[in-house]
Each structure stands twice: as structure tokens, then as C-alpha cells.
Amino acid sequence: MKTKATAYLAASGTVLLWGMSYIWSDRLLDAGIPVEFFVPVRTLLAGVLLLVLNKAARLDMRMRKKDIGKFLLLALCMPLVYFICETYGLQLTQSPTITSLIVATNPLFAMGAGMLIFKEHFSRLNILGVFVTLAGLFLVTWTRTETGPWFWAGVAVLFLAVISEVSQIAFTKSLSSTYAPSVIVMYQFLLGAVLFLPLFLSKGMAYFDASLYLSWKVVYPTLALALLCSATAFTFWAYAIARLGVAHTSVFLAVVPLVTAVLSFLFGDERLALLQWAGLAVGLVGIYLTQTESNKA
């Protein structure tokens, strides 16, 4: 029970940090910082930090030959494909809340992967909880009517992010029995930084301006994304996946839009109507149902 409680805390901490990540990313985009610059920098900083911490903790960091392919696919799905699609989707939809809502459909896909690939149990009550949660998210976002000219293109790009995220969850689960969570995430981001290098050198540095790129308004959110939303959050996430399974852990992603909406409200980036607050409450009830144990399949 203690291990399970720790896993729930880890999953909760992850969604809190990821909820904030949309706001920090949005601020970087508003400052004119290209995706190809701050995402590779975020990825590299997270990988280096975890390398230092893992060495200090004397964890076994040896990569088995049979797992090289899995690690490469893991890094390809997340961070490369996911972060590019997520950030471009955010740029095209012009809304942190809408972006996090679409990404939060992940549990519907991850639930199928968990049951079909890893043979995880998901009761009718748990399935009902997923749809209740998504209904709450709809209430949070449906009143927003202002969209940019590339809104639907952004939606399509975001669904590519969802597919890549489900894939990385599956790879993380398959590696979790052999490697410590922080070691999995370390390789994930170090390999991801290498994959990002061509984009970083060609587009990320194309309009580099030291007065802007090295200013505090850029350095602060970049460091927050690297240290908190990447290194810390992904390590928490890998730990939760190993102990709760793919399906039950993935449902926590549905609460990310709720966190983003509340934080956006608190920071004055977006305003919430009464119906949207009701949606937050419904979403939390749905999350509770997804984690409720049931003897009925």
C-alpha cells in the first residue's frame, strides 16, 4: 500500500508539473523563441542533470544490447516527435487549455494498449471514469469560441503527439523491470538531444539573439521546463508506470488540462466561467472512478 501511495503521489506531482509546462512553453512562444531552440535545450539539460544525479546515487546505468532499439524508439517518440507536435500544436491552436485537453485523450488509447499488450485489468467502473473525466474536460473548454486560422491543423498535429505519447508509455513499461526510472528517463533525454541536433543547428540557432535568448524571461521558463517538467516529472512518471501500470497511470494525464486551466486562471492568462469550474469538479470525480478497485470485469 505504501508503494502504491507513493506511485499515486508521483503521478499527481507529474500532472501538476506538466500542467504548468503548457504555460511556460506558451510564454516562450510569445517571446518569439522557436520550438527548435528551447525544446532541444530543455531536453539536453534534463538528460545531463539526470546523468549527474544517477552517477551520484551510483545507480546501474549500463544499457543492455537487447534494449538499444527500445531506447532509441523511446527517444524518438518522446521527446522528439511528441515535443515537436505538442509545441507546434500549442502554437497553432493558440490555447494552452485546448492543447492540454487534446493531449488528455491519451487515456482512451493507453487503456487499449494496457489491456491488449500488457493484459492489465480495467473494470467497467474504471472505463466509466475515463468518459466522466473527459466530459468534465469538455465543460472546461467548450465555451472557448475564439480560434486562429490554423486551429484545426493544430488539432491534427496534437493527435500525432497523443500517438507518440502512448507509444513512449508502452516502451517505458517494457523497460521498467530492468532499469531504474531515472536511468530510463536519462537515456530518453540524452538520446533525444542527439536526435534534436539537426533541427537545433538548422532552425533553432538561425535567428539567435543573445540579448533575448539569454535574458531571464527566456532562461527562467527554459530551466523550469528542463529541471521540473522534464527531469523531475518524467522520473516520477516512469516510477508511477512501473507500479500502477500503463492504463491506470495514463488516466492521470486527463487531469493535466484541469491543472492548466486553474493555473492559467491564477496567473491571469485565461478566465474560467462557473460552468468550467463545474467541469473541473466532474473531471476530478472521473479520475477517482478510474482508480477505484472493482471485482467486476
pLDDT in tens, 220-239: 999 999 999 999 999 999 99
User: Where residue 122 falls among pLDDT bands split at 50, 70, 90?
Assistant: low
Q: Work out the percent of the chain whose per-residue pLDDT is above 70.
A: 81
152, part of any domain: yes
Rounded mean pLDDT, 148-168? 84
14, part of any domain: yes
User: Where residue 270 falls among pLDDT bands split at 50, 70, 90?
Assistant: low
Residue 141 clears pLDDT 70, i.e. is over it: no
User: Where residue 41 falls among pLDDT bands split at 50, 70, 90?
Assistant: very high
Rounded mean pLDDT, 264-285? 71
296, part of any domain: no
Rounded mean pLDDT, 142-170? 77
201, part of any domain: yes
User: Where residue 147 falls among pLDDT bands split at 50, 70, 90?
Assistant: low
80, part of any domain: yes
295, part of any domain: no
Predicted local distance difference test score (pLDDT) of residue 169? 81
Predicted local distance difference test score (pLDDT) of residue 295? 41
Residue 115 clears pLDDT 60, i.e. is over it: yes
Predicted local distance difference test score (pLDDT) of residue 113? 66
Q: Record the pTM.
A: 0.75
162, part of any domain: yes
Of 27 and 288, the structure prediction assigns the larger pLDDT to 27
Predicted local distance difference test score (pLDDT) of residue 97? 64
Helical segments of the chain, H only: 2-30, 35-56, 68-75, 82-93, 96-103, 106-116, 124-141, 151-175, 181-199, 210-213, 216-223, 233-244, 246-250, 256-266, 274-290
Domain that holds residue 13: 2-290
Residue 252 DSSP class: G
57, part of any domain: yes
Residue 148 Cα distances to 22, 32, 145, angstroms = 18, 17, 10
- Interatomic CA distance for residues 262 and 175, integer angstroms: 34
User: Where residue 124 falls among pLDDT bands split at 50, 70, 90?
Assistant: confident
CA dihedral (194, 196, 201, 202) positive or negative: positive
Q: Are 250 and 114 in contact (CB under 8 A)?
A: yes
Q: How many domains does the chain have?
A: 1
